[in-house]
Amino acid sequence: MSKEKEGLKRTLKARHLNMIAIGGAIGTGLFVASGASISAAGPGGAIVAYALIGVMVYFLMTSLGEMATFMPVSGSFETYATRFVDPALGFALGWNYWYNWAITVACELVAGAIVMEFWFPEIPGVIWSAMFLALLFVLNIISARMYGEAEFWFAGIKVVTIVIFLVVGVLMIFGIMGGQAPGIKNWTIENAPFNGGFATIFSIAMVAGFSFQGTELVGIAAGESENPKKNVPKAINTVFWRILIFYIGALAIIGFILPYTDPNLLKAGTDNIAMSPFTLIFERAGFGIAAAVMNAVILTSVLSCGNSGLYAASRMLYAMAEEGKAPKFLRKINKGGVPINCLYFTTAVSVLAFIGYLVGENTIYLWLVHASGMAGFIAWLGIAISHYRFRKAYKLQGRDMNLLKYKAKLFPLGPIIAFTLCTVVIIGQDTENLIKGNFIGALPAYIGLLVFLAFYISYKIVKKTKVVDLAHADFSVDYDEK
């Protein structure tokens, strides 16, 4: 009997995978921070930045899709890096990604408490955070199917909201709702549609990258998909275009209806629900309860992100335990096929990070958040490198290309473009301080990269690992095909 059948259970359906990918990529980055992006770069600049990152994410998703369809394991890119690049890279990617989501769960507990203050300002936020953590823990401890079902509904609420926003926005642009049609005047005011030139577009591209992070969750979930050879390609092919349309469509509508100089957009990056561009446009269309509705939607985004965080972190930790890169006790599975000790351990670390925030150690907490933010780009970098070597090894070993049920587009150009753009974004996190030689000032922006390198170098020294010989790369697949 395979490890997969003894351990994790394949209970996630195609609809779960679709919504896991959508839910991972759509959150406060779209609902709140999109206004600040337009304010900084103008509507045209914001769209160019998000489209550029969208192209990068497309290539990353197709790269991940090819590997995850052929080799659907919960370790995902950690396993692929171990088999096709270097075990040290797999070790560093795995712990880096686990840490990223464990800290993200803590961040979402903070965000959830802030959101609830909108309705219940007299109730201490820590009570809400504790309740949300308990809810997310229960959703994850029962089974992967329960996680997938919760994510399906969380993401569904966000999708419905965006679709309504797009419809209302188009009606407003043509003057059918909300008064006079704006035409293209907001695209022709001073410095529009591109404000600040290339430098500003580049800075927005980094924000866009953070907004798209989470799409790689479909690779983690492939390890528990009912039929990965069918469901993973379907999720990759359909979900990406929906996400891109949602982002580009929303940015275009905001750009038509609100001038990029609108002072409220400047405040859109402050997590103020009332200043979300979605709220502003819904209110102009005559929806008086827009702020309350958007608050509820953003709460579902927070819960969705926390839900995915516990799931992704526990599965990555389990995969590393299976490969001997994490303690053996983390391999314990409950009757529902959930890696129970991994879930306990991840929850405990999330709570510790949250407590650090509560006791006022904001400096430490902010450093953790910065390190976590970099982790997504590092994971993407790992995907691009792993896929390039995966395909090279596949051809070198004389394997039949027809056995790849899903093939990434434009290989090798795709992973090369993704690798290049990812590297540029990682290096460009704080170029201003780097150019000035202020390395201490730049440290918070690059702390995540330093943590990753510490994992990589220490494992390589201790285990004396070598780059994998592609002629002997391991393509074994340990699951029952359907």
Within a domain: residue 480? no
Q: Choose the weakest-confidence range: 61-70, 280-289, 340-349.
A: 280-289
Within a domain: residue 301? yes
User: Is 27's pLDDT higher than 80?
Assistant: no
Greater pLDDT, 366 or 398: 398
- pLDDT band at 272, cuts 50/70/90? low
How many residues in total does the chain contain? 482
Residue 365: the pLDDT is 63
Within a domain: residue 471? no
In the three-class reduction of DSSP (H, G, I as helix; E, B as strand; rest coil), residue 359 is classed as: coil
Tell me the residue range of the domain where 415 lies.
Answer: 12-465
Residue 12 backbone dihedrals phi, psi, to 5 degrees: -85, 125
Radius of gyration of the chain (CA): 22
Burial of 15 (0-12, 13-18, 19+ CB in 10 A): middle
Region 337-347: what's the mean pLDDT?
Answer: 93
Closest CA to 155 of 70, 220, 71, 214: 214
Give the C-alpha distances (Å, rounded to integers) separating 232 from 25, 196, 267, 301, 463: 16, 40, 38, 23, 34
Residue 464: the pLDDT is 94
**Alpha helix positions (H), 71-124:** 77-84, 87-116
- pLDDT band at 430, cuts 50/70/90? confident
- What is the secondary structure of 321-347 as a DSSP string? HHTTSS-GGGG---TTS--HHHHHHHH
For the stretch 63-86, pLDDT in tens is: 999 999 998 887 888 999 999 999
In the three-class reduction of DSSP (H, G, I as helix; E, B as strand; rest coil), residue 286 is classed as: coil
User: Is 207's pLDDT higher than 60?
Assistant: yes
Within a domain: residue 417? yes
For the stretch 210-253, pLDDT in tens is: 778 888 888 888 877 888 888 888 888 777 787 788 889 999 99
* Distance of alpha carbon 427 from the chain centroid: 19
- CATH number for the domain harbouring residue 59: 1.20.1740.10
Within a domain: residue 153? yes
Find out whether 244 and 25 touch, Cβ atoms under 8 Å: no
Find out whether 449 and 94 touch, Cβ atoms under 8 Å: no
For the stretch 393-410, pLDDT in tens is: 999 999 999 889 899 988
Within a domain: residue 482? no
If you average pLDDT over every residue of the chain, what do you get?
85
Tally of domains in the chain: 1
Within a domain: residue 1? no
Q: Which residues contact 359 (CB under 8 A, 6 or more apart)?
A: none
* The token pair that represents 413 in the structure block: 């150009």
Within a domain: residue 123? yes
Residue 463: the pLDDT is 94
pTM score, two decimals? Answer: 0.89
Q: Choose the weakest-confidence range: 14-28, 99-113, 458-472.
A: 14-28
